[in-house]
Amino acid sequence: MLAPALVHADDAGLDAAIGKGLFKRAWVPAPSSTRANDGLGPLFDARSCAACHPAGAGRGATALAPDGTPEGLGLVLTLVRPDGAPDPVYGHRLETMTLPGVPAEGTIGVSVVDGRRLPLIRDAGYGPLDTATRLSLRAAPDLRGRGRLEEVSDAAILALADPEDRDGDGVRGRARLFEAPEGGSRVGRFGWKASHPTLAGQASEAFALDLGLSTPLRPEPWGDCTDAQTACRNAPHGRDAEGEPEIAAAIVARLVAYLRSLDPPAARADKAGAKLFATTGCAVCHRPSLPTAMGGTVALFTDVLLHDMGEDLADPVGVPGAAASEWRTAPLAGVSDTLARGAGLLHDGRAAGVAEAVRWHGGEAARARARFDALGEQERRRLVAYVSAL
């Protein structure tokens, strides 16, 4: 008989293996011959998780065609309202794919002005947006190793926060807090705006918005379809006679197990580059590692805090809990793979390389950017090479 610890390890490995298959699964519309595969849509952005997170859950494609159409499925268009409510007609997201019989919402267009990516909706299928709704592009992030952020305690993250800038370094990172079902609060750590404390919450949002699939946390079988989208609301879905979600809790748990099993991309050792990274101030926010509750570390180059990044990187409007210019420190682990596949950096993929990304930094990162600009040419190249190899 196996020892309990080994049984647990085997079970976790099996759940992760099943989760990997679910991550790659191409979902189909309901009704299908196999209910476990159906429920896609009626509006959606992709047919599988892997379509937006390719290369073993890496960052999605961010390239634009000459006419401003995104190439691939790595960019989505978020509909942002200051009160957190969805657009009354289009919902939280412009879904670019649809099932037969359901009018399409439209397609994404992007114009580039002075390096900024300004999104628009082409062929809008349901008329104009509400006057309070704004548009923001989001790139599908690298997921490798990110699941291990659940191993970092809230206390460890809160210990890094300095919203009053007590140390006078100009960096005022703060945690985004959410009420916990069991009482108290939890620190948000997933998503561009630190919008979710748990992987299950992040995955459930992706199922709902990207695939139009319901889960116990997001039980609406029509996904992001609004009351105004009658055909979408009335289209077939994958709920059973008992009204259970299309994606059961066990499926969410196995997908989460897979994401937790992914190791962070390994960085090339470079002591000189690491020293420059620290002395310029990059490591104040992009902390090379965070302590886990079990005594280990997770090396993702983030502090999971919200920081004001200045007007050049700001969304058109903020949301409850995060201002327009506030972003969770993006993990840098995996930058090398992102660059190798030609995907861009920052939340909308606008930066083709590390130096360009740094020069978009403002707000709390302005001092670090100034130190970067003050480096000699050789040191600057060394630092860029260091980050580009992460």
Domain borders along the chain are 4-134+195-260, 146-178+263-388
Rounded to 10 deg, the angle between the 199-206 and 249-261 helix axes is 110
Q: Is 74 helix (H, G, I), strand (E, B) or coil?
A: coil
Question: pLDDT tens digits, the chain, 390 residues: what are they?
Answer: 333 344 355 677 999 999 999 999 999 988 765 556 678 989 999 999 999 999 899 999 999 999 999 999 999 999 999 998 999 999 999 999 999 999 999 999 999 999 999 999 999 999 999 999 999 999 999 999 999 999 999 999 999 999 999 999 999 999 999 998 877 899 999 999 999 999 999 999 999 999 999 999 999 989 999 999 999 999 988 766 567 899 999 999 999 999 999 998 888 889 999 999 999 999 999 999 999 999 999 999 999 999 999 999 999 999 999 999 999 999 999 999 999 999 999 999 999 999 999 999 999 999 999 999 999 999 999 999 999 999
Q: Which two tokens stand for residue 299?
A: 């090396």
Could you tell me which of 200, 304, 302, 332 has the C-alpha nearest to residue 259?
A: 200
Could you tell me which of 229, 238, 193, 231 has the C-alpha nearest to residue 211?
A: 238
Could you tell me which of 286, 289, 308 has the C-alpha nearest to residue 298?
A: 289
- Do residues 338 and 345 lie in contact, with contact meaning Cβ atoms separated by under 8 Å? yes
Query: CB burial class (10 A; 0-12, 13-18, 19+) of residue 389?
Result: middle
What is the chain's Cα-based Rg? 21
H or E segment to which residue 135 belongs = strand 134-139
